[in-house]
Structure 1
Amino acid sequence: MYSSICMPMSSPSQSLLKPNQNHLLGSAPSSKPWSQSRRRAPLTTRAILSTSRELALKGFHERRALKIISGLQNFDRENVSSVITAADKGGATHVDIACDPELVRLAIALTSLPVCVSSVDPAAFVAAVEAGALMVEIGNYDSFYETGVVFSPDQILKLTRETRRILPFVPLSVTVPHTLSLPDQVKLAELLEQDGADIIQTEGGKCSNPSASGVLGLIEKATPTLASAYSISRAVKIPVMCSSGLSAVTAPMAITAGAAGVGVGSAINKLNDVVAMIAEVKNIADSLKLPSRRDVWKERSLNL
């Protein structure tokens, strides 16, 4: 059984600024399907749109994305700053923060990594994209589960369609709840792909109760999200991000299971020291054999 949530679906016309103020926003929102709206992007903005999308999705297409998550309801600037710094210095490919324009501006000041924002309110994404976010995420539901709130497939599909209507060009990631059975997760993922999602994110760490400590416990904790990644990646053509309950031990297992990237949150954002955060991000990046920051900058310099 799923509890229902009530949240305002404010009209995008109330929150959008003038058309084309931000190229990722495109022109004024259209009620036409996502595929039609996308095809009608103005010629003068297509190159910018293509470059922005490529930057945001590059790590996923190369099957080596590492997204560090600060938390959907984490608005603590000091903690978020530490998480962003750890992602940047530790070798991550993306950073995921709460959907807040001020936090986006903070992130852009601290890192050149693509910034993703998470929310369950599609209208809130617009201001964050205007501030510079390159990707949006419907998900990272863990903080809601703590209050007994869960999301049904119908609710998630509605949020996805509304987000895609408002932001037809912005890369969109959607989390499939672990509260669904595996067959239902797969079915929802297939529908999300049809509705224009660019990435499917899995979860499961909150429902896992390891019986052992050490390496065995880490593997047990990751089992639900690994199972989801394995099942969903074989049912959809878009990239799958395995998230929740992962560590340096289990991140490579996610890629082997079929994921195009991993998302890590509490293993980083719960640490109290930025040096420890950087070390943990680096451990995970090394386990995925990601290039070091020095190698990344060297590659960028050669491409200029």
Structure 2
Amino acid sequence: MNLFNDHLRLSFESKQIIKVISGLSNSNICKILKLVKVAEFAQASYIDVIANINTVKLLKANSKLPICVSSINPIDLFNCAIAGADIVEIGNFDYFYKKSIYLTPLEIIQLAKETRLLINNIDLCVTIPSYLYLHEQIQLAKELEIIGVNILQTEGRSDKKLFKNDLNKFRKTQDNVFNYVNLSSSSLSSTYALSKAVTIPIITSSAINSVSSFIATSYGASGVGIGSSINQYQSLYDMSFYIKEIRKSLSVVRNDGKYNSCKICFKRYQKKQIIF
């Protein structure tokens, strides 16, 4: 596995990555620090934040958690890498969907090339947009692997209104396990297809819970990214509990694709979650 970050390499190899996503639109340092402390307590792998130099410096001064910064501006990513970011990412496109900005595969490849030229010793992650056809996603992933991208991330539906409607239905009809997978089905499908096409690690994101995270690693992912799902909680306890249950779920699938002996039992947690 060709990763620069020795601290994260073992987690990627064992398919135990949990990435906590703060979001490109979140510049509130208090909220970001809250997520960082929760991620540390629950033993998440790293935090993904806005590409801002001051934010990176502040987090580096207050936490040992590895930091990923996201942007579509190679210069911002470069400056954050100089400030101490451990991973840079071209992604978290939800912020741009609100502005009706949809990057083409060629634009994404060009951004990745520019970023790789600027930052040649830092791990580079690129999100594969969900609005692309599956064959376009596969072709894009192959080309990104060739130019030296270290990590790929899949995403789910970009229509937030439809997503919220589905989420409300999910909360009302959670007796069916299918509902726990439905919200992240497109991201899971992309994960499965891309894992067969490339050899670099893949992170599955979008509406991840303890069931979909288990399926993601079964489909070839090295881990999961959680953002909007964790932000539905207010208390630090509930947020850390959410991360911990996903960590338990990931431990069921070994890095050889087989399963650890584990009795899976489904039970309610505040009428929202499935835990192991």
Letter aligned with residue 160 of structure 1: A
The equivalent of 1:245 in structure 2 is 207
> Pick from 211, 216, 226: which aligns with 1:264?
226
Contact 1:69 1:269 in 2 (8 A): no
Structure 2 residue matching 1:148: 3-state secondary structure? coil
Separation (CA, whole Å) in 2 of partners of 1:51 and 1:180:
27
Q: Greater helix share, 1 or 2? A: 1
Separation (CA, whole Å) in 1 of partners of 2:227 and 2:156:
12
Aligned-residue CA RMSD (Å): 1.9
> Pick from 271, 276, 287: which aligns with 2:249?
287
Contact 1:70 1:96 in 2 (8 A): yes
- What TM-score results when the alignment is normalised by the length of structure 1? 0.75
- What TM-score results when the alignment is normalised by the length of structure 2? 0.82
Structure 1 residue matching 2:152: 3-state secondary structure? strand
Separation (CA, whole Å) in 1 of partners of 2:180 and 2:157:
10
Letter aligned with residue 75 of structure 2: A
Deviation at 1:129, TM superposition (A): 1.4
Residue 177 (str. 1) matches residue 129 (str. 2) = yes
> Pick from 186, 198, 202: which aligns with 1:224?
186
Q: Which runs of 5+ in 1 are unaligned?
A: 1-49, 291-304
Residue 83 (str. 1) matches residue 35 (str. 2) = yes
Separation (CA, whole Å) in 2 of partners of 1:51 and 1:230:
21
Number of aligned positions between the proteins: 241
Deviations 1:2-34 (A, max 9, x none): xxxxxxxxxxxxxxxxxxxxxxxxxxxxxxxxx
Deviation at 1:248, TM superposition (A): 1.7
The equivalent of 1:197 in structure 2 is 149
> Pick from 247, 266, 273: which aligns with 2:235?
273
Identity across matched positions, percent: 34
Q: Which runs of 5+ in 2 are unaligned?
A: 253-276
Which structure has the larger Rg?
Answer: 1
Deviations 1:94-148 (A, max 9, x none): 1111111221123223432211111110000122112211110110111211222
The equivalent of 1:58 in structure 2 is 10
Separation (CA, whole Å) in 2 of partners of 1:128 and 1:184:
30
Inter-CA distance 238–286: structure 2 relative to 1 (3 Å threshold): same
The equivalent of 1:20 in structure 2 is none
Separation (CA, whole Å) in 2 of partners of 1:194 and 1:166:
17
Letter aligned with residue 273 of structure 1: S
> Pick from 33, 37, 46: which aligns with 1:94?
46
Contact 1:176 1:189 in 2 (8 A): yes
Residue 235 (str. 1) matches residue 197 (str. 2) = yes
Deviations 1:233-253 (A, max 9, x none): 100011111111211221111
Separation (CA, whole Å) in 2 of partners of 1:273 and 1:149:
34
Separation (CA, whole Å) in 2 of partners of 1:267 and 1:200:
20
